[in-house]
Structure 1
Amino acid sequence: MFRVLVTGLGGAGRTTVAAATALAAASSGHRTLLLSAGADAVLGVPVGGPPERPDRVADGLWAARVDAAGDFRAEFLDLQDRVSAALDLLGATPFEDEELTELPGSGEFALLRALATASRGDWDVVVADLPPLDEAVALLALPERLRRYLRRLLPPERQAARALRPVLAQLAGVPMPAQWLYETAARWDSALADVQAAVEDPGTRLTVVAEPGPAAAERLRAVRPGLGLFGHAVHAVVANRLVPGDSADPWVASLAAQQAQCLKEWDGLWPPAAAVGSLPHLGRDPRGLADLARLAALPVLAPPTAAGAREGLPEPVHGDGGTLVWHLPLPGAVKEELSLVRRGDELLVTAGPFRRILPLPPVLRRCTVAGAGLADGTLGVRFTPDPGLWPRTR
């Protein structure tokens, strides 16, 4: 299975590109699913089916609506059922389905769950219409972050001692966590692990959509360090809504020149693995399968034919003077916006507005941080062995 995750700058037409990408895959004979919260606007047909029962919209193409409200209600009510005994003791009044409305962030959780559900299906290609780029970077990092929080708050190994909890509660004088809490945490961790595996799978591609121009170029430059920090390799950059370059209209000609200059910059900005392509402006907002078919026929939206590569973190290498160097890819990062904090066996890395907590490789946990340097889009963190932790040699 291939997954194509489509994101981009706000208003750049990422939903259109996601739908056209899905149609291109279906037209090539792939059984394709489109996941979106608002595909109706570009498909031109109502889409209301959940990921488990998507609507068929064309030969080989199905579409599913990500229902944030419905997903939130189902998850909340399920949790409420699990803690019903405790709520009864407290005299709490349970919520009914019809009185629940989703909270901020529900849409992101719903999309993650939909992606996990689709990954268990028999699709050849799954295309997901992600939120705007800044939100998408945080969304794709969410499974890793939440799993870390769960492991810190409810370590799985403590569940093995559940038979001793009554005794421990008496000794400590405080109640121990109930079994339902561990079971709920384990269920969430399993679901998050499925999503994380789908995001990090070699068959997952990331497409970034932007309307070329100075503002878009500046915003993409600012987001690139975040993509590198979380290991998200960009496989395609789609410059959307290009105007004709041979127009006699001075305004259109000026805009075309600006877009051409931006495309030239992008060709040298993204790594060789990222294909920079363009889609023409149709003169109107694309709507319906006929408009999408015009875009889907262009090579830039061709379906994937081989697995991609995730930007993993390389293992530490030996440097000069007995030091070890850990290389962290941070394309486009600015030295003044970087910070490093060592906390136990973890390294907290901040690049502008983006932050990630990285577990140190085993060999570096016995070392101290000796310094760091940024060169050619890569942050090299230097470590020196801690004599108190390394075995002595004779």
Structure 2
Amino acid sequence: MRTVLVTGPGGAGRTIHAAATALAAARRGARVTLLTSDPLPGELAGVTVRRIDAAAHFRAELLAFQDRAGAALDLLGASRLDADELTELPGAEQLALLSALREAAADAPGLLVVDLPPSATALATLALPEQLRRYLRRLLPPERQAARSLRPVLAQLAGVPMPARWLYETAARWDLELAAVQAVIEDRDTVVRLVMEPGPAAADALRTARLGLAVQRLALDAVIANRLLPAETPDPWLAGLVAQQRKHLDALNEEFPTVREVAHLGRDPRGDDDLDLLDPGLDPDRATVPAPAWTVEDRLAEDGVLVWRLPLPGAVKDGLSLVRRGDELLLTVGPFRRVAALPSALRRCSVAGAALREGVLDIRFAPDPGLWPRGH
């Protein structure tokens, strides 16, 4: 299964492009599923459309959790919540999207197209599975479940509280579901497409999104330059807008390897025929675009260090922070933050320095003689 995640600045036409991509693949005979929460401009013949309903997902999850925690809630004298009084909280849309992504991927369509929210929200959402799984492991370590057989004994000892069994079971279920979503996001056949209208604000947002994708090690498939005005026009005012668009488009072509142009229809798309006109011609079945590789270079013989190379296009030193914590690296780059597990070889080393050059962060690690195997 191939997955195309579509995002970009707000109002750039993400949903339209996601629909056009799905329809074009279906016309080629692929089995296609489109995941979206927004209205679509056509029927999308041959495409299975799955709607993301954040309100329904929130109600179902909260009521299910309430049922599983029923005994504890009754002990506390809590008053149960009814479905008709529940209104989704902030973050419900992101969790509903991840759940829908997991369910759609389980059906294994030939192509899964996902209409994501605007890029800032999309990047935070795609980072959630890894982050939440880390929180679960820290707050409810799986190995502590082995102690549940001793719960009756420990419950009689003062000051030894034991979490209820349902809490561990719920955490284990959440971890499995999050792991399934994370596997889809990190799969080598999953790519991201950024949709934008050429302009100064959009270009800045695009570069920020590219940096966020690199921090999360997600593959950027292409940039879709949307709603391009006709190159030739007798109208001086319109000619000025065209010149501005082309200036930014030329800059994008120099900076990004794959930029596809989509012309402005002069109206809002209506129906499948209009979506056919908006297909940028990017075949999802072509060779997979590789995700940014974080590699370890062995320079022990030359410099006595190992170097962890992290491609971070657009990163600047002023917005960069590194903190080593045990076997993890806390990386902050501009508005993005990630807690990354160190490769096994680097866990036996201490950080010896770092340098950022031309969009690549080199972190130097010196082997710890007390931990490094003899002869290496």
Give the TM-score, by structure 1 length: 0.91
- Aligned equivalent of 2:263: 280
In structure 2, stretches of 5+ residues that fail to align are none
Partners of 1:9 and 1:216 within 8 A in 2: yes
Task: Say which of 325, 335, 341 aligns to 2:317.
Answer: 335
Partners of 2:34 and 2:48 within 8 A in 1: yes
- Aligned equivalent of 2:12: 12
Give the TM-score, by structure 2 length: 0.95
- Aligned equivalent of 1:218: 204
Q: How does 1:75-94 map to 2 (within 5 A)?
A: 75-94=61-80
Letter in 2 for 1:307: T
How far apart are the structure 2 equivalents of 1:355 and 1:245?
A: 41
CA deviations over 1:36-72 (Å, ceiling 9, x no partner): 11133x23xxxxxxxxxxxxx4432121210000000
1:268, distance to aligned residue in structure 2 (A): 2.3
How far apart are the structure 1 equivalents of 2:187 and 2:297?
A: 23
Describe the shift of the 1:215–1:81 C-alpha distance in structure 2 as closer, same or farther (beyond 3 A): same
**Is 1:164 equivalent to 2:147 in the alignment?**
no
1:160, distance to aligned residue in structure 2 (A): 2.0
- Aligned equivalent of 2:341: 359
- Aligned equivalent of 1:295: 278
- Aligned equivalent of 2:94: 108
Partners of 2:8 and 2:194 within 8 A in 1: yes
Matched residue SS, 1:208: strand
How far apart are the structure 2 equivalents of 1:120 and 1:264?
A: 41
1:249, distance to aligned residue in structure 2 (A): 1.0
Partners of 2:224 and 2:262 within 8 A in 1: yes
Partners of 1:203 and 1:306 within 8 A in 2: no
How far apart are the structure 2 equivalents of 1:165 and 1:362?
A: 35
**Is 1:310 equivalent to 2:296 in the alignment?**
no
CA deviations over 1:326-357 (Å, ceiling 9, x no partner): 01110111111111111111111110110001
Q: How does 1:28-107 map to 2 (within 5 A)?
A: 28-40=28-40, 42-43=41-42, 57-107=43-93
1:146, distance to aligned residue in structure 2 (A): 0.5
**Is 1:244 equivalent to 2:244 in the alignment?**
no
How far apart are the structure 1 equivalents of 2:209 and 2:185?
A: 18
- Aligned equivalent of 1:376: 358
Deviates more, 1:228-237 or 1:162-171: 162-171
**Is 1:181 equivalent to 2:163 in the alignment?**
no
How far apart are the structure 2 equivalents of 1:314 and 1:167?
A: 49
**Is 1:256 equivalent to 2:238 in the alignment?**
no
Describe the shift of the 1:33–1:253 C-alpha distance in structure 2 as closer, same or farther (beyond 3 A): same
Partners of 2:190 and 2:219 within 8 A in 1: no
Deviates more, 1:116-125 or 1:74-83: 116-125
How far apart are the structure 1 equivalents of 2:45 and 2:272?
A: 11
- Aligned equivalent of 2:180: 194
Partners of 2:194 and 2:206 within 8 A in 1: no
Letter in 2 for 1:7: T
Letter in 2 for 1:76: L
- Aligned equivalent of 2:124: 138
Task: Say which of 329, 332, 345 aligns to 2:327.
Answer: 345
Q: Aligned pair count?
A: 375
Matched residue SS, 2:303: helix
CA deviations over 1:142-177 (Å, ceiling 9, x no partner): 100000001111111111221023334445623201
Letter in 2 for 1:370: A
Describe the shift of the 1:58–1:336 C-alpha distance in structure 2 as closer, same or farther (beyond 3 A): closer
Identical residues among aligned pairs (%): 58
